[in-house]
């Protein structure tokens, strides 16, 4: 069957509007950044459908003026697909970019038509612009996107294929094009490009919804595993991770240290400055700890003002230095916040390094908690560490 480009354009129009409407309807159950991404994607399909609708019906005296409109709408819609990927990753987006891209391409097309450049010049310009945007989409999903899955790779490969197709179209236009301005082009290259655009619209929409679903699942996982106030691991996830690290250290004979940290006299902070300020102190302490540890370490909020840390590949001596560094950093970095209410914020820390006497992760927690208890009773704002040979808390000099 030899379908002409006008018919394919009409099919793309119908599919684009159907896809855009479906994505808008499906976006209601997603978080705000995913919903914003889906809306951008849907609006891009609306613009693309509008462009192909005008292109398929173009015929008559107004064709010269419709050419800039068609290509401006198409590039604007394609650029919205790029911004939708950025929204999905919560990256910064210039919201006026799709409009600006469409206006620039439209004005350039108008200039080409006025200068007598013909359809070949228009196809060269728009093909280059489309290939550039598609390449940018491919880079976002194949290179910059974190936690990429199969839908991301399919979308990236599809974008690369479409970009290559538009480069072929640009080369064909540079070699000469005798197509009249008042009718849509209907050569072999144009038909192939239109078919590729149709397939890209259908397959791309399916993959984009799958990408949004993956992002949604990651968001749910993050909410299930993190503490809502501080953003560190919640108690349940911390103990799950602790069990995994304990078994790994035991199996491979590696070092492992556990610390428990508690904010000193936190009830007094709440009583004197109020619970909202107390929450600010908890967040500040969590941020300070997160900034002091390695990527492979883990921190969790295991109580109201109590935190615990897992330090893989860390022996007793190194663990003591880390604990003292945390204590000093909190005393120093949270001082400015505490001064707002005339308070002093310090912490006490208890720690233990894994040894042969520890049969379970809970044994490490129990001993580090006992060391914390001793640090509290010894005057607070200090570190107590349990050394294997002593089996009793060891005071770390401040």
Q: Tell me how far apart the alpha carbons of residues 58 and 119 are, in angstroms, rounded to a whole number.
A: 13
C-beta of residue 359 within 8 angstroms of C-beta of residue 321: no
Q: Tell me how far apart the alpha carbons of residues 104 and 125 are, in angstroms, rounded to a whole number.
A: 11
What is the rounded radius of gyration, in angstroms, for the C-alpha atoms of the chain? Answer: 30
C-beta of residue 356 within 8 angstroms of C-beta of residue 372: no
Nearest-10 crossing angle of helices 5-26, 188-225: 10
Q: Tell me how far apart the alpha carbons of residues 230 and 338 are, in angstroms, rounded to a whole number.
A: 18
DSSP H helices in 95-174: 97-114, 118-139, 150-174
C-beta of residue 125 within 8 angstroms of C-beta of residue 108: yes
Q: Of the residues 305, 306, 324, 331, which is catalytic?
A: 305
| Residue 331 falls in the annotated catalytic set | no
Q: Tell me how far apart the alpha carbons of residues 307 and 310 are, in angstroms, rounded to a whole number.
A: 10
Q: Tell me how far apart the alpha carbons of residues 273 and 338 are, in angstroms, rounded to a whole number.
A: 10
* β-bridge pairing 306-312 and 347-353: unpaired
Q: Tell me how far apart the alpha carbons of residues 123 and 177 are, in angstroms, rounded to a whole number.
A: 9
Element (DSSP H or E) covering residue 349: strand 347-353
Q: Tell me how far apart the alpha carbons of residues 108 and 299 are, in angstroms, rounded to a whole number.
A: 55
Upper half-sphere CA count for residue 36 (Cβ side, 13 Å) = 13
C-beta of residue 113 within 8 angstroms of C-beta of residue 79: no
Cβ burial, residue 147 (10 Å; 0-12/13-18/19+): exposed
Q: Tell me how far apart the alpha carbons of residues 327 and 321 are, in angstroms, rounded to a whole number.
A: 10
Catalytic residues: 305
């Amino acid at each position: 069957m030899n379908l002409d480009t006008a018919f394919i354009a009409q099919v793309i129009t119908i599919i684009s509007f159907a896809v855009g409407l479906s994505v808008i309807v499906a976006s209601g159950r997603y978080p705000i950044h995913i919903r914003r991404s889906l809306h951008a994607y849907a609006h891009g399909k609306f613009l693309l459908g509008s462009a192909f609708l005008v292109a398929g019906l173009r015929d008559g005296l107004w064709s010269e003026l419709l050419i800039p409109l068609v290509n401006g709408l198409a590039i604007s819609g394609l650029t919205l697909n790029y911004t939708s990927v950025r929204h999905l990753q919560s990256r910064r987006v210039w919201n006026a970019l799709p409009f600006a891209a469409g206006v620039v391409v439209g004005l350039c097309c108008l200039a080409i038509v006025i200068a007598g450049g013909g359809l070949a010049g228009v196809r060269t310009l728009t093909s280059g612009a489309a290939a550039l945007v598609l390449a940018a989409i491919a880079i976002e999903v194949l290179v910059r996107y974190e936690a990429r899955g199969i839908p991301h790779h399919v979308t990236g490969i599809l974008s690369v294929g479409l970009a290559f197709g538009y480069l072929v179209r640009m080369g064909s236009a540079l070699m000469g094009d005798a197509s009249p301005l008042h009718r849509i082009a209907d050569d072999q290259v144009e038909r192939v490009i239109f078919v590729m655009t149709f397939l890209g619209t259908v397959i791309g929409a399916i993959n984009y919804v799958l990408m949004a679903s993956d992002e949604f699942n990651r968001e749910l996982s993050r909410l299930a595993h993190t503490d809502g106030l501080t953003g560190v691991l919640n108690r349940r996830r911390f103990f799950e991770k602790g069990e995994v690290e304990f078994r790994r250290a035991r199996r491979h004979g590696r070092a492992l240290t556990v610390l428990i940290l508690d904010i000193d006299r936190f009830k007094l902070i709440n009583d004197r400055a109020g619970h909202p300020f107390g929450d600010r102190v908890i967040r500040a302490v969590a941020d300070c700890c997160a900034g002091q540890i390695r990527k492979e370490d883990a921190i969790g909020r295991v109580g109201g003002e109590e935190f615990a840390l897992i330090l893989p590949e860390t022996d007793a001596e190194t663990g003591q230095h880390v604990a003292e560094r945390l204590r000093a950093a909190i005393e120093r970095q949270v001082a400015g916040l505490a001064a707002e209410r005339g308070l002093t914020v310090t912490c006490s820390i208890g720690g233990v390094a894994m040894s042969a006497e520890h049969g379970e992760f809970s044994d490490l927690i129990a001993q580090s908690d006992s060391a914390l208890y001793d640090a509290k009773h010894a005057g607070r704002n200090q570190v107590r560490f349990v050394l294997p040979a002593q089996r009793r808390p060891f005071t770390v000099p401040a």
